[in-house]
Amino acid sequence: MTEVRNDLVAKRYAAERRFRFYGATALALTALFLAILLTDTVIKGIPAFHETSVELDVKVDPAEVDPNNPVGGNYDKMIKEAFRAEFPAVEGRTNQRALTALLSSGGADALRGMVVADPSIIGKTVTVPVLLSADADMFLKGMLTSQTVAPGTAALHIARLDGEEGFVLTGDKTGEEAEKELGLAPRDVVRFKGGALRVTGVENGYLKAVPVLATDPAVTTVGPGQWDIVSFSVPESNRRINDNQALWLDELKQEGRIENSFSWRFFEAGDSREPELAGIRGALVGSLLTVLVAIALALPLGIAAAIYLEEFAPKNKWTDVIEVNINNLAAVPSIIFGLLGLAVFLNFFGLPRSAPLVGGLVLALLVLPTIIIASRAALKAVPPSITEAALGVGASKQQAVFQHVLPLALPGIMTGTILGLARAFGETAPLLMIGMVAFIADIPSGFTSAATVLPVQVFLWSDLPELAFRSKTAAAIIVLLVVLFALNAAAIYLRKRFERRW
């Protein structure tokens, strides 16, 4: 008689453990991907929720503002002048332009707001936060380069070479040995009271440097601990803030003039070409209007269709066709719905491009199958005994359905609808086709005004070359995901709260 082979059993159990491990690994990998995706987005996006400004004492010049029309004042000029006054040593057009480039082109908004709110301050000097440019903001957040400052330990001698540009740095020794002794490397910046020099390297036996800031020629010796070595991880040519700008910002920071605050602007402003001024208000309003249209159409249509198909439709070829059609429609690529919107709503009916109305129509058709399928499942879950009981006391079939079955199925229908809503809220591709992809700085005012939606805003920003927009994109994604999670949580809550087992 053959026996169960014991030697095989060990192998079989090993195979069992292996298989189980594969399954757990698959789930772990999926979870890991999700975790990386979310963490990466949050890390990229969090900085964009903060903005950086500098506190300036600005004299509101009566010559530049008309008290009767405070909005039209030349505030830009005032803040630029105030900013230049902070750095009296900065001379020359190029340097001054580099200095004012640190301020945002919308930097004067806060001052304008103050004056408009209270024109009596015209002529006085006020302290006002001035928004910094995106590049300055990114530098201060440490996203352009990392920066280390080390105190110089040896005595530093600075000499000007006759007939040549630049300076020669020596310690007790010269040349390469000086480089070692002073702890310097090419590209390092030597900062001391009275100037700042950038080390260029050893040349003809001398350790040479060029000025970064205006350097006082009178300073020839700086004692140990009196100077700093500032080094950047990214070379100057590869970043949008050059060394002198970086040193100015450092100076402001040391004085405690830099203010980092939560960026309400991100939620209150429309789109902008300037990263520090761009916000998602326009996209959020556009999304809201679009989804509103979509749900106002898809919900009644979906429920009506589901009621007909589940409760009234005879079982015949025609309803079979509708059923197969709905199931197929649910799996049609969303971009195809965009083509439909473009060809039918824009070209045939002549509805306006980029409008939330058209976007809503397209999304309504897109989520309709989902809502019908979910609603049918909810209606099916209500036991037939409910209908029979209603019919038994003389109600018509429609009364039974509308007064008894539908209310019982409503939580299920709402759950399905919210999930459809979430899908509509995150949908991008079909909206590209109907022109919701344009740059629109204004907050949309109605269903037919040009608008964009949050996911499309993400797409638009992700395409821009500025590093600052990358952060904005991630921040917009965080907002998008928070809204979606809230919608899903609402659906889960509804399901749990009203779940009924028959």
Binding to another protein (CB under 8 A) within 408-437 occurs at 422, 426-429, 432-433, 437
Q: How far is the CB of 32 from another protein (least distance, A)?
A: 10
Check binding of 16 to another protein (CB under 8 A). Answer: yes
| 3-state DSSP assignment of residue 222 | strand
Check binding of 338 to another protein (CB under 8 A). Answer: yes
Within positions 450 to 469, which residues make up the interface with another protein, using CB under 8 A?
A: 455-456, 458-459, 462-463
Q: How far is the CB of 310 from another protein (least distance, A)?
A: 10
- Out of 218, 256, 317, 349, the only residue in the binding site for another protein (CB under 8 A) is 349
Q: What CA–CA distance (Å, rounded) separates 222 from 207? A: 16
- Out of 222, 337, 378, 417, the only residue in the binding site for another protein (CB under 8 A) is 337
Check binding of 393 to another protein (CB under 8 A). Answer: no
Q: 208 near 168, Cβ under 8 Å?
A: yes
Name the residue nearer to another protein (CB basis): 246 or 436: 436
Check binding of 481 to another protein (CB under 8 A). Answer: yes
Helix axes 467-498, 6-45, angle to 10 degrees: 120
Q: 202 near 208, Cβ under 8 Å?
A: yes
Q: What CA–CA distance (Å, rounded) separates 424 from 434? A: 15
**H or E segment and range at residue 191:** strand 189-192
**Strand 221-222 with 206-213, pairing:** unpaired
Q: What CA–CA distance (Å, rounded) separates 218 from 137? A: 34
Name the residue nearer to another protein (CB basis): 357 or 382: 357
- Out of 62, 205, 217, 333, the only residue in the binding site for another protein (CB under 8 A) is 333
- Out of 101, 301, 408, 490, the only residue in the binding site for another protein (CB under 8 A) is 301
Q: How far is the CB of 41 from another protein (least distance, A)?
A: 7
Within positions 304 to 323, which residues make up the interface with another protein, using CB under 8 A?
A: 304-305, 307-309, 312-313, 321-322
Tokens describing residue 238: 């590869």
Name the residue nearer to another protein (CB basis): 214 or 437: 437
Number of C-beta neighbours around residue 140 at 10 A: 22
CA distances from 211 to 179, 214, 217 (A): 17, 7, 11
Q: How many CA atoms lie within 13 A of 322 on its CB side?
A: 13
Q: How far is the CB of 140 from another protein (least distance, A)?
A: 22
Check binding of 143 to another protein (CB under 8 A). Answer: no
Surface-to-core class of residue 65, CB atoms within 10 Å of its CB (0-12 exposed, 13-18 middle, 19+ buried): buried
- Out of 328, 385, 403, 445, the only residue in the binding site for another protein (CB under 8 A) is 328
- Out of 262, 264, 485, 493, the only residue in the binding site for another protein (CB under 8 A) is 485
DSSP state of 57: E
